[in-house]
Amino acid sequence: MGRFCHVCGQENIIPKESFGSLVIHFFYDITHFDGKFFHTAKDLFLKPGFLSKEYLSGKRASYLNPVRMYVFTSAIFFLIFFMVVDPKNLVHVNSNVPLNNKARVELMEDLEKEFKKSKADTTILFKKLARLKDTTQPVSFASLDSLEKKDSLSNEPKTFSEYDSLQRTLPSVKRDGWFSRAIAKKFKYNKELQENPTSMLEQWTELFLHKLPYLLFVSLPLFALILKLLNVRRSKQFYYADHAIFSIHHYIFSFILLLVLFLVVTIYNRTGWGVVKFIEVILFIIWPVYLYIAMLKFYRQGWFKTFIKFILLNMFGFFSLLILFILFFVITIFQA
């Protein structure tokens, strides 16, 4: 074993750094990171599409790596997001508001339509409706209540264990599938949901919000895939990785813009100044305008063709995000 490593050439010594040198290295790394971050953020905001072009042309030393910057900005964004957003404020269920007669009639009509569409056991409801519509038989609330009690005691299980036991007695071809069983367990026989639906919805919302970082991370390659499909005729000029770099820079811009929006909304809520509300509106307008200009500069196509692709990108992006939101929320419910 020699003085220097035969692989990398580093001297074979064990460095013993002092606490002071560690502090110096720490501040150097932080300021070096900050310097690159602010330089990259400045060009990202003031020059739409410029950073993606610079990265693909090989000019990367002066800028922060896109993936590293995405991780940093998303971490800061969600840290502030979870400090600002309260799941209770997103759930508005007020059961104390009385319904007028018109609202009651409309609600009952809607419920009847939903029951008719449902595959669930609605024997009691249909028997009640038939009894009410049959003018040849006298109808009283007592008769309807006895009908409900009789049918519920004979047919309808009250708990999931009773439901599960009943399912086991049925032939395999008549048993509910795994999805119907899961729905029954989470909704129909969920005692906590029936007793306190607002609390349960708040719990699901909070769990779902903590999945948002994963949702956006999954949506990023989908966003890049949509861009690739929109530019499929230029596949030799732009590879999938090129669209991914553009997507990452767009997501970073969105995170920073939303952080500024959080600040503006906080200032408006505390001061009520009209000019702050005007700034909030401007920030909402900036996002689509920035994306259009970035696509125009990066893909170097005419303004009309770019506008058509911009519309298609937002349309397909919206539907893909909607599907991901539904999927992640369903997963959240079943994991709760």
Residues 6+ apart with CB under 8 A from 199: 192
- DSSP 3-state of 175: coil
Quote the crossing angle between the two packed helices 19-46 and 240-271, to the nearest 10°: 90
- Residue 244: CB atoms within 10 A of its CB come to 20
Burial of 128 (C-beta count, 10 Å sphere; 0-12/13-18/19+) = middle
Residues 6+ apart with CB under 8 A from 102: none
Structure tokens at 49: 């599409």
d(CA 11, CA 273): 63
DSSP labels for 209-238? Answer: HTTHHHHHHHHHHHHHHHHHHHTGGGTTTS
- Residue 116: CB atoms within 10 A of its CB come to 10
Residues 6+ apart with CB under 8 A from 129: 112
Per-residue pLDDT of the chain (336 residues; tens, 9 = 90+): 566 666 665 555 555 556 566 555 555 555 555 668 888 888 999 999 999 999 888 888 888 889 989 998 999 999 888 887 776 666 654 444 444 455 555 656 665 665 665 544 555 555 555 554 454 455 444 554 554 555 544 456 767 677 777 777 778 777 777 667 777 766 666 666 666 667 777 777 888 888 899 999 999 999 999 999 999 988 888 999 999 999 999 999 999 999 998 888 888 888 878 888 888 889 889 999 999 999 999 999 999 999 999 999 999 999 999 999 999 988 887 776
Dihedrals φ, ψ of 111, to 5°? Answer: -65, -40
Q: What sign has the CA pseudo-torsion 14, 15, 19, 24? A: negative
Query: What predicted TM-score, i.e. pTM, was given to this entire model?
Result: 0.66
Q: How far is CA 201 from CA 91, 197, 222, in A?
A: 7, 6, 29
DSSP labels for 21-63? Answer: HHHHHHHHHHHHHHHHHHHHHHHHHHSTTHHHHHHHTT--TTS
| pLDDT for residue 274 | 81
d(CA 197, CA 165): 26
